[in-house]
Amino acid sequence: MAVSRICCVLAIFFSLVLGHCVLNIEATHHVYRNLQTVSSSSSNQPYRTGYHFQPPKNWINDPNGPMRYKGLYHLFYQYNPKGAVWGNIVWAHSISKDLVNWTPLNPAIYPSRPSDINGCWSGSATILPDGKPAILYTGIDPNNQQVQNLAYPKNASDPYLKEWIKIPQNPLMAPTRANGINSSSFRDPTTAWLGKDGHYRVLIGNKRDTRGMALLYRSKDFVHWVKAKHPLYSAKGTGMWECPDLFPVLSKSMFGVDTSVDGPFVRHVLKVSLDDTKHDYYLIGTYDAKKDKFIPDTGFQNVNSVLRYDYGKYYASKTFFDDAKKRRILLGWVNESSSVADDIKKGWSGIHAIPRAIWLHKSGKQLVQWPVAEIEKLRANPINWPIKVLKAGQHLQVTAITAAQADVEVSFEAKELEKAEILEKWMDPQVLCSRKGAAIKGGLGPFGLLAFASKGLKEYTAVFFRIFKYQNKPLVLFCSDQSRSSLNKNNDLTTYGTFLDVDPYTENLSLRSLIDHSVVESFGGEGKAVITARVYPTLAINDEAQIYAFNYGAADVKITRLNAWSMKKAQIN
Ligand code: DQQ
């Protein structure tokens, strides 16, 4: 035991010091070959989450094949059963009745056939017209080629869908000399949709040179797939498109619809996870069912101005239609911001964000996201502040809740718009947030919340607004500043930010933060923009953590609402 621990420590030491085991394969994640089977026994675990999904140990990444089947929600996810870095990838499997409490089952899909012997990578579930589910996933074959495979439940009457059968015809889609597909950039099938012609369609992420694209395949029987001549959509300079997702949204309703629904009140959303930037971007547009083309309202001309689900850490997301509550649910992976050495020490890496309901904003210009209502049943010890003025330079503690595991909703009225700083030139909002972090006093703002604040404010994560005047109109900046979140400077302390489409003349600025030991998931403007941050305080842990409402601007602001709750622990696996 002692010997193996010493070996383990030596392996980590040499790999980190010499760095020779870090292979950056073109395919996807960093590959730390000799750390893929290293386990940890650390009992000091201040960063494990109380209600964000994660398994008891090891590495996780993308959510896969989410669906509701026979009254249960199923979540599969990319998982390394042997260590805290990416590798040995299988589809781990958990089920839930409420998207909050999860029960683990055995891995559902794991390497067992030539068509997936080197890994079972991401994919999606489709509920077929007979009500039975089918999973399309990427397998890595003996030549390390990416191919697409199909699995069916062994027993479709089992609501737990414990066992899956891979069909003998696999792989169903493969790179060949004839189709010219790059075998290391061909992965992550979407949920399929059924056209009026009775043919299924599915998208596969791909790139040609640096042109990212969603390849389209059609099938009559879900087994024989034929590649369409043209991709559904492509954009030059965007690099590999991972985990594409295409789904319909209703133009004037918060209800979700099944993936095959189309018609006059339907708009379509195409989401892609860009391997080059590690962010999830979405385009709103029209799906031309006759030509099998997606026509976005505005395209990918400038990646920085394309809308994102989340302006913090959030990747490889996937939606599914929840037929019980007629809503579309979005799930996403939130990676660590800590060093690989720290991940190995704690023995795990990666969590999932709280499932979000997602719908088209009434303007038609963007999506809105909100944590599923079920999460609210974890709320306890409600705190409700009376309306109060938060004076310039003031911070007030939100007391009487468990600050390291909490849900806080706050709204600010900021009316002294003549005090807003002038923004002469448009600037990247993330850069603006990092130049004007929470500690930099402003005119109107910064005001917002300090999460994971230590006594004396040596550590804190600040989520805040700052209002500028730009071209004579107010411009709202929404930031999450991690620069002081930890005294451990080995963490990624990048500040995140975006502009928020809210008019402070007519609307209050609302913020909801889901705070959970090492994650702060913040929804600005009633879910118009979301920023997720991973933080690892060294002082503000567990009972030592505090929450404040703060205003470091020159103008007073009014808190028109502050509701906060301790969050109970969920069964997260
Ligand atoms: N993760 C999977 C791939 C996918 C990537 C491998 C995205 O299928 O492209 O674990 O994070």
| Mutation pick for ligand 1 pocket among 29, 32, 141, 184 (CB with most ligand atoms within 8 Å) | 29
- Cα(120) to ligand 1 centroid in Å equals 10
pLDDT at residue 319 greater than cutoff 90: yes
Give Cβ neighbours of residue 349 (< 8 Å, ≥ 6 apart). Answer: 58, 59, 60, 84, 85, 335, 336, 343
Whether residue 573 is contained in a domain is answered as no
pLDDT of residue 30: 86
Q: Which phi and psi angles does 85 have, rounded to 5°?
A: -120, 165
Q: Which of 345, 371, 397 is the last residue of a domain?
A: 371
Least confident of 36-45, 244-253, 519-528: 36-45
Looking at residue 247, the DSSP 8-state letter turns out to be E
Closest ligand 1 atom to residue 188 Cα is 8
Tokens 């059924």 belong to residue: 194
The pLDDT of 13-28, averaged and rounded, is 40
- Cα(89) to ligand 1 centroid in Å equals 10
Cα separation, 76 vs 92, in Å, equals: 5
| Mutation pick for ligand 1 pocket among 122, 245, 336 (CB with most ligand atoms within 8 Å) | 122
CB 284 within 8 A of CB 367: yes
Q: Which of 371, 386, 407 is the last residue of a domain?
A: 371
540 Cα distance to chain centroid: 25
Nearest to 358 by CA among 440, 435, 247, 445: 247
| Mutation pick for ligand 1 pocket among 91, 241, 242 (CB with most ligand atoms within 8 Å) | 242
Helix, strand, coil tally for the chain in percent (to 5): 10, 45, 45
Closest ligand 1 atom to residue 242 Cα is 9
Whether residue 2 is contained in a domain is answered as no
- Cα(78) to ligand 1 centroid in Å equals 8
Nearest CA to ligand 1 atom 11: 316
Whether residue 176 is contained in a domain is answered as no
- Cα(239) to ligand 1 centroid in Å equals 14
The pLDDT of 526-550, averaged and rounded, is 98
Whether residue 175 is contained in a domain is answered as no
- Whichever domain contains 439, its CATH number is 2.60.120.560
CB 354 within 8 A of CB 52: yes
- 27 token code pair: 């395919």
Are 327 and 469 within one domain?
no
For residue 34, give the amino acid letter: N
Share of the chain above pLDDT 70, in %: 95
Distances (CA, A) of 99 to 51, 53, 121, 147, 329: 11, 9, 23, 31, 10
Cα separation, 428 vs 411, in Å, equals: 25
- Cα(561) to ligand 1 centroid in Å equals 41
Are 477 and 561 within one domain?
yes
Are 310 and 452 within one domain?
no
Query: Measuring from each residue's beta carbon to the nearest atom of ligand 1, which residues come in under 6 Å?
Result: 28, 61-62, 78, 89, 121-122, 138, 187-188, 242-243, 315-316
Nearest to 259 by CA among 328, 206, 181: 328
Q: Which of 348, 371, 394 is the last residue of a domain?
A: 371
Looking at residue 568, the DSSP 8-state letter turns out to be P
pLDDT of residue 41: 62
Looking at residue 184, the DSSP 8-state letter turns out to be T
Looking at residue 33, the DSSP 8-state letter turns out to be G
Are 297 and 314 within one domain?
yes
Catalytic residues: 62, 141
Nearest CA to ligand 1 atom 9: 242
pLDDT at residue 5 greater than cutoff 70: no
Are 408 and 349 within one domain?
no
- 74 token code pair: 């199923």
Nearest CA to ligand 1 atom 10: 121
| Count of domains forming the chain | 2
Whether residue 267 is contained in a domain is answered as yes
Are 143 and 255 within one domain?
yes
Are 416 and 272 within one domain?
no
Residue 413 forms beta bridges with which residues?
558
Whether residue 26 is contained in a domain is answered as yes
Looking at residue 173, the DSSP 8-state letter turns out to be B
> Residue 58: enclosing H or E segment and its boundaries?
strand 58-69
The pLDDT of 46-58, averaged and rounded, is 97
pTM summary value = 0.94
pLDDT of residue 12: 39
pLDDT at residue 9 greater than cutoff 50: no
Are 353 and 396 within one domain?
no
The pLDDT of 228-232, averaged and rounded, is 98
Are 489 and 445 within one domain?
yes
- Cα(281) to ligand 1 centroid in Å equals 16
Mean pLDDT of the chain: 94
| Residues of the domain holding 492 | 376-567
Angle at 74 between CA 69 and CA 75, to 5 degrees: 155
- 99 token code pair: 């998207």
Cα separation, 555 vs 411, in Å, equals: 16
Residue 29: pLDDT band (50, 70, 90) is: confident
Least confident of 31-40, 145-154, 185-194, 515-524: 31-40
Whether residue 4 is contained in a domain is answered as no
Are 403 and 515 within one domain?
yes
Closest ligand 1 atom to residue 273 Cα is 7
Whether residue 171 is contained in a domain is answered as no
Are 25 and 152 within one domain?
yes
Cα separation, 132 vs 70, in Å, equals: 10
Cα separation, 513 vs 518, in Å, equals: 13
Cα separation, 59 vs 49, in Å, equals: 14
Are 121 and 26 within one domain?
yes
- Whichever domain contains 326, its CATH number is 2.115.10.20
